[in-house]
Structure 1
C-alpha cells in the first residue's frame, strides 16, 4: 500500500470540502488515489476536526471537585431559613 504525506492528504481533503469541489470519484481519476481512500480521508478529517487556536484559548478550565454537601453550614441563617 502506498503511503501519502499528511500535507498531501490535507490538500486533497481541502479540495473535497471546497464549495463546488470535485467528488471523490472525480478526484480519484485525476490523482490516481483510489476513491475509497479519498472517502476515508474525508471521513477521518470530519470526525477528528482539529481545535482552532481560538478554541484552545477559550477552553474551559478543568473541573474542580465540589465541596462535600454533608458539611455543616457555619454562620447565621437568613430569616427565611430560621426556625
Structure 2
C-alpha cells in the first residue's frame, strides 16, 4: 500500500510524513483511521505494549535484586 492509498480520505501524505517524523501533533481519530486501514487492532497493540512493559519491569527488578545480593555477599551488613 502506498502512502497515498493509506492517507486517502484521512489526511494528506505531507501530514502523514510529519507524523512519521514526530514533528506534528495529530488526533486519536487519525490514529484510529490509519490503524483500521492497515488492519491493526489498537487494543491488541496496547495490550502487547502493557505486557512488554510489565515484563521489562519484572526483569529490571530481578537484575536489581541480583546486584543487591552480590553486594550483600561482599559487604556484610552492620
Regarding TM over 0.5, the answer is: no
Query: Is the helix fraction higher in 1 or 2?
Result: 2
Structure-1-length-normalised TM-score: 0.29
